[in-house]
Structure 1
Amino acid sequence: MERPAWAPPGIDISVPSVSRIYDYYLGGSHNFEVDRQAARRAMEFMPGLPKIMQANRAFMRRAVRHAVAEGVTQFLDIGSGIPTFGNVHEIAQAASAEARVVYIDHDPVAVAHSRAVLDGDDRSAVVAADLRKPRDILAAPEVGRLLDFDRPVAVLLVAVLHFLEDADDPYAAVAELRDALAPGSLLILTHASFEGIPLTEEVASGTVGVYRDIRNPLVMRSGEQISRFFDGFEWVEPGLVSMPEWRPDGPEAAEDGVAQEDPYAYSGFGGVGRKA
């Protein structure tokens, strides 16, 4: 197997990665054949997966612009993945010269490419860390340098919590992050669910099986289970909804480029909460 020049040393290019699979769905170029094979297998069951990922990205952009409009200019993006067009720092910095962004990911390819993209940007940084260990995230020097937790911070958990199993206690991880935040901080979150997918649960479970086979279990939670991540937050209208339904109006609606009529875009949930 030929090793691309951009692949960081030491990573096993024979093992699929969820962040590189996500990159493939979004049309990126930082993925290996093993990632593309896994993505194509998943799409055999759920052909609309790229549309779901586009809806995720579009939701994230609208939520970041909303945060800046509310005066929140600090962003902690956990499970940020491989940089693609329209990243958090690009959206936030276009909206405010004050914007500060720290990306967190545990995939070495995602971290390496984020470092390359952010080279020379003193208002953004990337940290190699894992959502399962929120204390490590909060203690990272880059987080301390760029983010002031005495002021509101927007924490993004976009398409990441569904890769934490219940045994990882994701609710405790989110609660630990919440407790570190100042009042007025925001939680921006999306999560996969069988609810809203235009397929039977039996067919959609085939995609879940592909992720289980590559040892990255995809945990589909109900809307009720997902809403529990927002304990301690007040809903920002319209609450927890399918991603295209979260504040779809505005100047960016056309540029988001998600075909709102595509039924797959309505799979899963997105929401924003504000810490009281």
Structure 2
Amino acid sequence: DTLIDYMPFGPGFTFVKSRSDRDAMQKDMKNGMADNIIVQISYFKMLKYVDWLDEDSLRRATDKGHYYLKINYLWPEFFGDFYHFEAIDSYNQKYTSIVGDIYYLNSNELPTYWEMLKNARAGFQNTEQFGILGQAGDRSNFLMSPATAAVWYQPERNSITIPLGILTAPYYDKKYPEQYNYAVAGTFMGREFWRAVDDEGAQFGEEGMLAECSFSHCSIFDSPSQKGFDNMAECVVNQYNSQCCPMEKGRCVNGDTTKRSNLADIG
């Protein structure tokens, strides 16, 4: 996990290349894009039943989620055809000068885990964080490894990434009934769709730029709709604050710290 966290695309490339079913999965995903769009449209059509959204705010939220949302599938395009390695080798070279230095600190001793971790973190910061500051915004950037067993939404890019790593059992398997795979895909995609309009996602516009801002807040919602959203979110906070184990006398959930995930779970 540590290696994947700090070198997301080096080990990620190896993971994808090693999957014998990668071409079949890519074909499945392309064939299923129409189904994904249906799920996408269905989720955002539900917004019209939200009574605290006015017409303009509803239009902006729907446009953001339906017309502008970028979905990244399986693995980054620069991985190529897995027979030519120039692009991934060039990427890995960015780490070599940083991570490789650790092996020359003391020629008589192997580096410690903490020394390697420190240098791997430095490589990640210089390559994936500070290294992209001067570049044009890239909404196809995965930011994380395609080997990661998760789906994520990036508000600054208005994108959802569905990596190959999540398309493994028990979440997805070619041997499973099609209905099961479709239901699971709809579940994790639907959860991330709502992040486009949660308390963080709503601060960013269609392509990830900050939305209209007041002195203290940015939002795609106008003031009355934002107030309605805040009231709804407070209801969710209170709902989770009341969840204690054991009941009444036990330790209770802090609804504020889990609000964003709870909003996405409830949809």
Structure with higher Rg: it is 2
TM-score category by the smaller chain?
A: under 0.3
TM-score normalised by L of structure 2: 0.27
Q: Which has the higher strand share?
A: 1
TM-score, normalising length: structure 1: 0.27
